[in-house]
Structure 1
Amino acid sequence: MALSGRQAESQSSPTLSRGCMEDYEIFCQPCDLVDRRLPAFGFCKDCEEHLCESCFKNHRMTKPTRYHILLDENNMPQTLRVPSEPANADQSNDLPTPCPEHKQEIIKFFCHDHETLLCNVCVTLDHTRTSCQVDYIPDISKKSLESKETLKDLEKVTERYKKATAELKEKLSKSTKSLKDVLAEIKSFRQEINQRIDELEKKAIERAKDLQKENNTILKRAEKTCNDITKSIEASSDTIKQLRDSKQAARLFIELKSAEKLIRDQEKRLLQLPSPKNVTEFCFLPSPAIISSLQEEKSLGTITHKKKELPGPPPPSVTLPRFSNQGDIYVKTPKDKEGCWVTGMVLLTPSRLVLTDSNNKSIKMVNLNSKSITDHLQLDTAPMDVTMVTNNQVAVTLSDKETVQFICAIPNKFAKKHKLKVDGYCCGISCYQEKLVVTFSNPRKVQIIDLKGKVLATITDDSEGDSLYFVAPYHVTSNSHSIYVSEARMYEVLRFNWEGEPTGRYSDLTTPRGLVMLNDGSILVSEKDNGNIQHISGDLSRGNIVLKDLSSPDAICWCGTDSILYISCFTDEDSFSNSIKMYMMLEYNNQL
């Protein structure tokens, strides 16, 4: 008669009779984990587990256990014994969670090394007992009944999330309100634009009317003169005819001689009348700057993030630089056909200044001791900016040609050298340790280039449009750790590191143009529209106006040896545009 269940197992394996206690026997430990009680047929030294005949034979068939050391029934340990009933049978129902990796398996183990919940397959494949400390969950789970720390941690995390949600809600409310303010500011800005356009229109109309008045005045004066002369000539002619008819020879002689003098005098007066050849017709040419701005601008303005106000101590007292006017240097030459527009300047030595004259498409060298032009190099296109590369070489940006031109500047003479082709309409340029930093207005960007033309880094707006850096990048200056760019239409000075990452911005400006760096790393920047020079700390945290009421200052240049600031201006008055102004710094105790 066949036996079933545990009775059959007892009769089928001699090992079941070896135990010294009735409730203990040696059985297959892996099978016991899935509630199957089979007698041990052997032992794995690596896994430290007894195995049934099937597990023993299959143990070397899988890759993870292929080279484990196996002991047969006669050599296996006889001392590893566990309760004869399945371990933690009453807890089997407490393990209902399926494995996320192996959907058909139930989580039963925990790996202490990786702090990971495991199923049978996980243990076999990735967390063997030889490599990890793995425990059967029912064996170690009783302590969890007394654990309170996890609940406390969960409560703390919950509170943090609630607090984060509340803070986010409050911040989003403020952000929404700020956007309402943005809409109001946009409308106000549009009204300001309309008002400004109205003012410009009014000025243009007044100018046209003034020219009309001038023409009318000239015409009235000319007509009156011609009428007076005509009347006197006609009167003389009538008198001559009457005397001729009446045969009064003596009076006729006198009248004829008077008429001859009258003719000579009136011919001279006729030459003084305005000639029709000198009277010009007029037409209206719209402002190129306004047309260009309307065509190039993609938006009315930029919606950007407000600066965070960080608490801190009040700023220390600052002793601002004081400047004394040292006069002007006249830089127009007989070769110049137009008024000067100096867009860039650089010092080769304390006594030699090189400048770019955009209006006259030239580069000039100035002897500062004699205040005279020592050389004048004509170019085929307008230069924008200049920087010193070596003691006797400068680099000039030629925007229309999308080129950087290198020029040798030996004592008092220029000579063209090689060129670098660049990718765009280049404007400002700065050189530091054989690296060029070049600003571009189209496309809007800043590039770091070596002297052979290799682009090392490009700074531009991010692809998502979240961070708008450039609309009209203009002048640039640099030192060992920072690059500063004047942004004329964003009304900012921006700072970047040499990897192209933004590190600061200063916004309390109006149309910034020229940039120079002082010996301590702080900078001076010209504000073209309001005629100021601002002194700004190197970290761009604060600044102060140090010069006021200049006439449209543009390019600036600093001589640290003599403490002199050179400033170019560009206005409709040649007296300003054709000269470089000099200001000496008298006092400066930088605490910016």
Structure 2
Amino acid sequence: MAAASVSLKSYGSETITAYSCSTCKNKNIKTEARSYCKICDFCFCDKCVNLHNQLFQNHVTYGPKEMEEWPVAIATQKFLENCEVHKGKKLKLFCEDHSQLCCNNCVLLSHRQCSKVTLIADTTLPVTDHQQLSDKINSILDQLIKLQINWESNLKSLQVSYEERLIEVRSMRKRINDTLDKLEETTLKEMDELNASWNASLKFDVDTCSRLRTELTCLCDAIKKIGKKNKELAFIAHQKSEEMIKQVDKYLNRN
């Protein structure tokens, strides 16, 4: 049958994009079909349809503009018959209790207690205006397209906003870093100056203490060595010691 030689370039796509030529397929050659003959139930490419028309002048063939006369594509048939719950299983039954299409697994697992499960082949097709149904689907598709465009626009806006905020954060981070660098530089300079000042002051005090200790120690040793041997030197040592003690007391009180 012709249906066996019909294929989709993209399985599950919305429209049939190509039919394979039945004659070429029998020769293991894949060629896109451009015509269909109902009597032969075959699809033909442009080359094969010319040979067909020469052999069967009374046969009517249908071109791409008359797709309603062509058979249902196998890909379309598989797409419709495939059970969404149990992949690879065909929808063969209909549960009227749940208004649900079922494969054998569906019935076995979920619809064994249902009272109205019938073969799809035995069901009566609902009276529906196909054009009305098609218009309804197209209307919903238009809404989905608009909604998708809206979400995509929001996604782009979000990305732009994110990048702007990222630039702001990085700019703020740079300003903070620059401020911290300047603060560090100023603080280190002040610390160096303060350290130098305190270092000089403390070194002066250390030197002063050392000098005063040395002078007092020398005077103390001199007093011990002179004793009562020399009144004049003892008087000088006494006076110098008193003067030195005054200097040390003044220094100690100041510090």
Q: What TM-score, normalized to structure 2?
A: 0.46
More helix by share: 2
The structure with the largest strand share of the pair is 1
